[in-house]
Amino acid sequence: MDTAISLPLPGHAVFETALGFMALAWSETGLKRLCLPEKTHAAAERRLLRLAGEVDVSGGRVVPEWVALLIADIRRYAAGEDVDFTSVPVDLSGVDDFRLDIYAAARALRYGETTTYGGLAEKSGHKGLFRETGAALGANPVPLVIPCHRILAAGGKIGGFSATGGSVTKERMLELEGVRVSPPPSTQASFGF
């Protein structure tokens, strides 16, 4: 894996992980955008640049120390290590209070810990608003740091996921954390004859 970091614009970086190429954008306040794995560097850069219109970045092409540490932690996570992202500064300026509540409740979930959309709505003080919670998570600008992949549909089903790869990416991330959401394999083996 190449450890280089590409900087397509000031306040942006594209980097390779064991899961694929990821990209992020930051402001002086904190992380503004995180794009989950893409198959190629170019695809990650395109996705980030598509979203960059929503990101007000500042500063030069120097990667701040906290961003370099975050990239190293994301790489460790992608390699299967238990990483805690709760101390990462996040810039959620312009996000409404409901989404802030949902994101704060999601961010409190630890590595390998899951809940349902309804459970997260309740934990955030918005009991019964599970659909709205799902919509808020679908608009999450910094997945992984705000771990929306840890939120499941009722009955422990995988549910939706707006990142590239959809629910397959979500399941892959959960499997890294030791969470199995697909049905267990049959106990009765097929003999194939």
Positions marked active-site: 148
Q: Where are the beta strands (DSSP E) in the chain?
A: 5-6, 12-17, 20-26, 31-38, 115-116, 151-152
* Nearest Cα to Cα of residue 37 among 122, 149, 177, 118: 149
3-state helix, strand, coil in the chain (%, to 5): 35, 15, 45
How many CB atoms sit inside 10 A of residue 183's CB? Answer: 6
